[in-house]
Structure 1
């Protein structure tokens, strides 16, 4: 009962239980390999991005220091014509509005980008699912 026989089409006819077991084993192996591929893909993306992230961090610190100096200069310039407290209030309000606009635009951009996902792996998983479906349907026929 568990023996394989050669069919007229040249392929082996296997018992359904054996086909199911083989398919389960193959799909399990495939899923493990796809997970490994996804991990490798994400690690590669992280390795490439890491130096850039460090540079952006350094630039952020420099920009904050420059922003503080420029803010002080703007307040001192306005203080020539206005009381100091009013000059500081005006500069602070302008900076608050600018920050709000930047945050709103940044949120929109992040939402457009979506989550970082291993795109290549997702495509190969879709192909693998189609392959498994094809194999399962041909095993039934």
Structure 2
């Protein structure tokens, strides 16, 4: 069967349209990635700022409470032993909190998941259309 000129123009037109649509799709995906990345960075920044300010205020109050605990325990045992016990317990709690905070800030929590998934679907769709 011989392809006519009309069919060739139609095919060329379809390829031109496909190219335009793919270009638009890529631009939209890049735009989504920018928006999502900005959202994640803003979220992380706000979280870090809240942690810093809240941590500083809580730290001041916590130091006063620890001093009161050491002085209270110092009434029933040697003051140096009371300070040592309180220090070790607080150090252990602090270490656990630091580990939790580090886990919350891992890169996997900041990955733009929607963009990655959308790009994966677009890639699969493009492969299917090419075959």
Q: What runs of 5+ residues in structure 2 fail to find an aligned partner?
A: none
Instruction: Tell me the TM-score normalised to structure 2 length.
Output: 0.70
Unaligned ranges ≥5, structure 1: none
Residues 29 and 115, structure 2, Cα contact 8 Å, conserved in 1: yes
The whole-number CA distance in structure 2 between the counterparts of 1:43 and 1:72 is 43
CA deviation map 1:96-118 (0-9, x unaligned): 222333345x1795499834111
Query: Which residue in the other structure is 1:89 paired with?
Result: 84
CA RMSD of aligned residues (A): 3.6
Give the total of aligned pairs: 127
Q: 1:48 to 1:112 in 2, by over 3 A?
A: closer
Alpha-carbon separation, structure 2, partners of 1:33 and 1:13: 25
Q: 2:51 aligns with which of 53, 56, 59?
A: 56
Indicate the structure with greater helix content: 2
Q: Is the Cα contact below 8 Å between 2:40 and 2:110 reproduced in 1?
A: no
Paired position in structure 2 for 1:67: 62
Counterpart CA distance in 2 for 1:124 and 1:101 is 37
Q: Secondary structure at the match of 2:110?
A: coil
Instruction: Check whether the contact 1:23–1:136 (CA below 8 A) recurs between aligned residues.
Output: no
Does the 8 A contact of 1:75 with 1:84 survive in 2? yes
Note if contact 1:79-1:87 (Cα within 8 Å) is conserved in structure 2: yes
1:97 to 1:45, Cα distance in 2 relative to 1, 3 A: closer
Say whether residues 1:128 and 2:122 are aligned partners. Answer: yes
Q: State whether structure 2 residue 21 is matched by structure 1 residue 12.
A: no
